[in-house]
Amino acid sequence: MKNRKILLVGMLAMLAISCKKEIKEIGEPASKVDGIVADWAMARVLMTDKVPIVEESMDITEYFATAAKQPNIKFFIEGPDTLFSVDTAGLELNFFNAVSGRWSFDHPLYPTQVLLFPTNRTDTVFMKLNGPIRTVDNKLKISKQVYDCTNKLLFRYDLEFIRKSN
């Protein structure tokens, strides 16, 4: 009887060791740079007031829909430079604080923000990534936070763009 228990424990131990999950390679992660390089047209704008205790959000897409042209942004590469250009002609609000400049990610493999460096300016525009950005993704979701002069968060724009072309 004792031998059977030892044999049973030994078999269970071998079974547990042999049932180890096999780790499979899934390949190289998709390039985030390749994913963002495209022409993007604005599809939706949500503005969230961060000052009150209870945050209030408002969809302001209609404000831009009545304009002759939707805001858009183009991310592209020329030689070693990563560049952007914005077309907000005729609009009073430019979320990007510039019409052109350089861009980069905060981390090359695992970006959480797109950093915009406007031409002829020293400030940096921080745009938080709110979703994945791969070549197969047709939406670019970013947000921009707006602060007052004391660095208090006032509101946030959540922007959604649709890929027009690569």
State residue 40's pLDDT score.
Answer: 94
Q: What is the average pLDDT across 145-161?
A: 92
Instruction: Give residue for tokens 């604005």.
Output: 42
Which of the listed ranges 14-18, 74-78, 149-153 does the model predict with the highest average pLDDT? 74-78
Q: What is the average pLDDT across 15-24?
A: 68
Q: Which residues pair with 86 in a beta bridge?
A: 73
In the chain, pLDDT over 90 holds for what percent of residues? 45
Q: What is the average pLDDT across 120-146?
A: 92
State residue 157's pLDDT score.
Answer: 93
- The secondary structure of 134-150 as a DSSP string is -TT--EEEEEEEEE-TT
pTM (predicted TM-score): 0.77
The answer to whether 67 and 89 have CB atoms below 8 angstroms apart is: no
Alpha-carbon span 86 to 89, nearest angstrom: 9
Q: What is the average pLDDT across 96-112?
A: 91
Could you tell me the pLDDT band of residue 1, with boundaries at 50, 70 and 90? low
